[in-house]
Amino acid sequence: MIITVEEGEIGSIYNKAIKSYKACIYNDENSYLRDEVSIPLELIELKRDNISIRFYEQETETYNLEVNLKLYDLSKNEIGKYVYIQDEAGDFVDEFLIFK
């Protein structure tokens, strides 16, 4: 199996993850997140980390992309990570927001 990545596609995938992160932190149902970090969520700096491809069992046609973003506070200390997962069609599968 060969997976081809078009020019600009990596940036587009990261941008989708960043948009999903922002939707997550601004969602009223997730207001409890404000109590989990010492700075306002809006001030957390995101940095692109990596994109992993995960295959399951022996299937080569079905896979997920895991997009990892690192989270930093105002002092540039890493305070957590956000993981956005999409399937091979580009559809949202899951997300994880983890603070240290």
Model confidence at 5, pLDDT cuts 50, 70, 90, reads confident
Per-residue pLDDT, 54: 93
User: Do the Cβ atoms of 56 and 4 come closer than 8 Å?
Assistant: no
Task: Let me know if residue 34 belongs to a domain.
Answer: yes
Look at the chain and report how many structural domains it folds into: 1
Per-residue pLDDT, 90: 94
Task: Let me know if residue 76 belongs to a domain.
Answer: yes
CA distances for 22 relative to 14, 49, 51, 60, angstroms: 12, 17, 18, 32
Question: What does the pLDDT average to over 3-7?
Answer: 83
Task: Let me know if residue 86 belongs to a domain.
Answer: yes
Residue 6 has pLDDT above 90, yes or no: no
Task: Let me know if residue 3 belongs to a domain.
Answer: no
Task: Let me know if residue 4 belongs to a domain.
Answer: no
Task: Let me know if residue 68 belongs to a domain.
Answer: yes
Task: Let me know if residue 56 belongs to a domain.
Answer: yes
Residue 1 has pLDDT above 90, yes or no: no
Question: What does the pLDDT average to over 8-27?
Answer: 96
Task: Let me know if residue 29 belongs to a domain.
Answer: yes
Can you give the residue range of the structural domain that contains 25?
Answer: 9-99
Per-residue pLDDT, 58: 80
Query: Could you read off the pLDDT of 34-86 as tens digits, one per residue?
Result: 999 999 999 999 999 999 999 988 877 889 999 999 999 999 999 999 999 99
